[in-house]
Structure 1
Amino acid sequence: MAYPTPREIIILCIFFCILNIAMGEWNTRDFQRREHSLVKPYQGSGMNVPQWDFLGSTMVTNSYIRLTPDRQSKAGAIWNNVPCFIQNWELHVQFKVHGGGKTLFGDGFAIWYSKNRMESGSIFGSVDPFTGLGIFLDTYSNHNGPHNHNHPYISAMVNNGSLMYDHDTDGTLTQISGCEAQFRNRDYDTYIAIRYENNKLTVSTDIDNKSGWKECFAVEGIKLPVGYYFGVSAATGDLADNHDVISVKFYDLDGDDADKTAPYIGLPEASVMEAPRDRIDDSKGSYLLGSMTGWKLFVIIILLIIGIGVCVMVGVMVFQKQQENSRKRFY
């Protein structure tokens, strides 16, 4: 058997290296842009972080950026201060959500591509209503209203500034899609990828420590204008968690040889939206009734009336029996 010569081995290695690079470029077609990325070491000169601003309870450490500590009623955010004028892009966020709660924890965090930068509010620490795209990673275990999913839950909302996020239904009235994702209290790194290319939004996760992306959902017909800002915000309420951001990496999918069409500058649009679900107002205690509306509630009222009538009849019969026994003692 003839063995390859050292020269042939070197040529073979060079060939596989070139092939690997070519395949990698074919699979990703991306180029990382520093102006929209956030990686360690975070700090520049002094306490400043280049291209990023901070809001609320956010704390910068050597290993992570903590948006909220595991304490009640906290909110924090980080915002890129460079507007994005790239039409097709992909954003990778490495994060960690963890805390001492075993059965009760919350609220979660959001990843933004939004016109509204550095504005505090009620949607995971950011303003409501907003204009742009919001990806919500909701961990609130004692979730509101009737749902056909468990928590934690990832969902997306596209807003032109006219919609309000419905906290009573955890945003299910306005979401374009979503999926369950058990990313909380993992012992390893967790990631989410948000890809926007040719009016298609794809959200994928790597939360199973498999070093590969798993698609969460994909939605066609999404129009996002250029010139908005990327950000990440988080909030706690009566329940709490640590919400940590380890890195944000932005990839330009257009490339130098891309077909340069006119950038979209209108309002954000979504051609599809999931069917609305019944709203339950928890403040009035109707969460306990589940989805008992309309004829179901009518049937329950009828059954209650019948039950009360039976109780009255039984009470009358018992009373008459006692009266009869009382008269017999006098004979």
Structure 2
Amino acid sequence: MASTGHFIVLICLFLLNITCILAAWNTKDYLKREHTLVKPYTGSGMNIPLWDFVGTTMVTSNYVRLTPDRQSSQGAIWNSIPCNVRNWELHVHFKVHGQGKSLFGDGFAIWYARDRLQLGPVFGNKDYFVGLAVIADTYSNHNGPHNHQHPYVSAMVNNGTQHYDHDRDGTHTELAGCTSLFRNQDHETYLAIRYEGETLTVSMDIDGKDGWSECFKVDGVRLPVGYYFGASAATGELADNHDIISMKLYELELPDVQTKEELYRGLPQADIFAAPRDHVEDEKGGFMSGGTWSGWKIFFIIMLIIIGIIVCGAVAYVIFGKDDPTKRKRFY
């Protein structure tokens, strides 16, 4: 009997420990399922519970494809529940791939914004937006050289008054950015956005090593609660498949001093922006402008060279053919 009682006591202690562990995990630092997108995506029919999609977005069993590898496409998916978490971290499992080897685009963006489901020119979302955009720009065929390579990941905070300038890669309104070669990788690729206090940190995991590598970190960023998470993508003359596999939002466990601070409800703000970058203007789209020549430019150059060779050959034939006595016809 004593051994049986001892066994029951051990079982009770074990269950109590498990309960305490789960309770502690479930207090602050845990997955927010109402803001999380994971497989299987669909509910009844083609609907995704708590998520809405628009444009060319297509839902499959393995991924949500925002745009296919086809020109002039725009697609987006948005959470339908506003986020009232002050400190959070969003993990995005994504894949960008296509047939293009040297020319491809345009890219995708992850949003924490006031307005949703509004297609537009900023990687599938409206311009003059209100909120935060973390942009993964793959389009390298821009007018004028820049001091970074593509793909390029950057962040922009907007209060509705700023225009995203594609010709400048958004470098005159970005908070910070880094080059990240995430396109056409054979392994899984991830992006993490962490907002803690007034610090925004963006990290990447694109090497298949299951570890985050910090892309940039910016202090003095104030984001209000009550905005929506979303993802959008766009293609233009160049294209790619832009796939979202999962989006997982975690509420961060922070000291009580920080959690007792009042929730910010004003417009998005940022104290620091990246320094302006040198850019060679090409307002008229000069034929020889740009750091990277497009396929059409190369084609026209080759055609001009061929035409020039033909013209020179014809002129040389006429000039030298007249003076060659062996090629003159005899009339006797």
* TM beyond 0.5: yes
| 1:268 and 2:268 are equivalent in the alignment | yes
Q: Which residue of 2 aligns with 1:73?
A: 72
Q: Which residue of 2 aligns with 1:182?
A: 181
Query: Which moved further from structure 2: 246-255 or 195-204?
Result: 246-255
Tell me if structure 2 keeps the 8 A contact 1:146–1:169. Answer: no
SS at match of 2:48: coil
SS at match of 1:135: strand
Report the number of matched residues. Answer: 273
Instruction: Please list every run of at least 4 consecutive aligned residues from structure 1 whose deviation after the TM superposition is greater than 4 angstroms.
Output: 254-258, 286-291
Tell me if structure 2 keeps the 8 A contact 1:226–1:264. Answer: yes
Tell me if structure 1 keeps the 8 A contact 2:189–2:205. Answer: yes
SS at match of 2:52: strand
Matches of 2:129 and 2:271 in 1, distance apart?
Answer: 18
| 1:218 and 2:217 are equivalent in the alignment | yes
For each residue in 1:122-147, what CA deviation from the matched residue of structure 2 results, as whole angstroms up to 9, or x when unmatched?
00010001000000000002133231
For each residue in 1:255-310, what CA deviation from the matched residue of structure 2 results, as whole angstroms up to 9, or x when unmatched?
7967322100011011000111244443413695679xxxxxxxxxxxxxxxxxxx
Q: Which residue of 2 aligns with 1:328?
A: none
Consecutive unaligned residues in structure 2, runs of 5 or more: 1-13, 292-332
Question: Matches of residues 124-273 of structure 1 in structure 2 within 5 Å?
Answer: 124-254=123-253, 259-273=259-273
Cα RMSD for the two superposed structures: 2.6
Matches of 1:274 and 1:286 in 2, distance apart?
Answer: 28
SS at match of 1:90: strand
Tell me if structure 2 keeps the 8 A contact 1:97–1:184. Answer: yes
Q: Which residue of 1 aligns with 2:282?
A: 282
Tell me if structure 1 keeps the 8 A contact 2:50–2:81. Answer: yes
Question: Matches of residues 283-322 of structure 1 in structure 2 within 5 Å?
Answer: 283-285=283-285, 288=288
Tell me if structure 2 keeps the 8 A contact 1:151–1:182. Answer: yes
Which amino acid is 2:66 matched to?
L
**Matched-pair identity in %:** 63
Which amino acid is 1:265 matched to?
R
Matches of 2:95 and 2:121 in 1, distance apart?
Answer: 21
Tell me if structure 2 keeps the 8 A contact 1:129–1:163. Answer: yes
Matches of 2:139 and 2:238 in 1, distance apart?
Answer: 8
TM-score by length of 2: 0.77
Consecutive unaligned residues in structure 1, runs of 5 or more: 1-13, 292-331
Matches of 1:130 and 1:289 in 2, distance apart?
Answer: 31
Q: C-alpha displacement at 1:188, in angstroms?
A: 1.0
SS at match of 1:35: helix
SS at match of 1:168: helix
For each residue in 1:25-53, what CA deviation from the matched residue of structure 2 results, as whole angstroms up to 9, or x when unmatched?
7xxx7210110000000001221101100
Which amino acid is 1:269 matched to?
Q
SS at match of 1:123: coil
Which amino acid is 2:203 matched to?
S
Question: Matches of residues 74-89 of structure 1 in structure 2 within 5 Å?
Answer: 74-89=73-88
Tell me if structure 1 keeps the 8 A contact 2:172–2:276. Answer: yes
Which amino acid is 1:178 matched to?
G
Which amino acid is 1:261 matched to?
E
Summarize the Cα distance change of 1:86–1:96 in structure 2 as closer, same or farther, 3 Å threshold.
same
Q: Which residue of 1 aligns with 2:9?
A: none
Tell me if structure 2 keeps the 8 A contact 1:87–1:226. Answer: yes
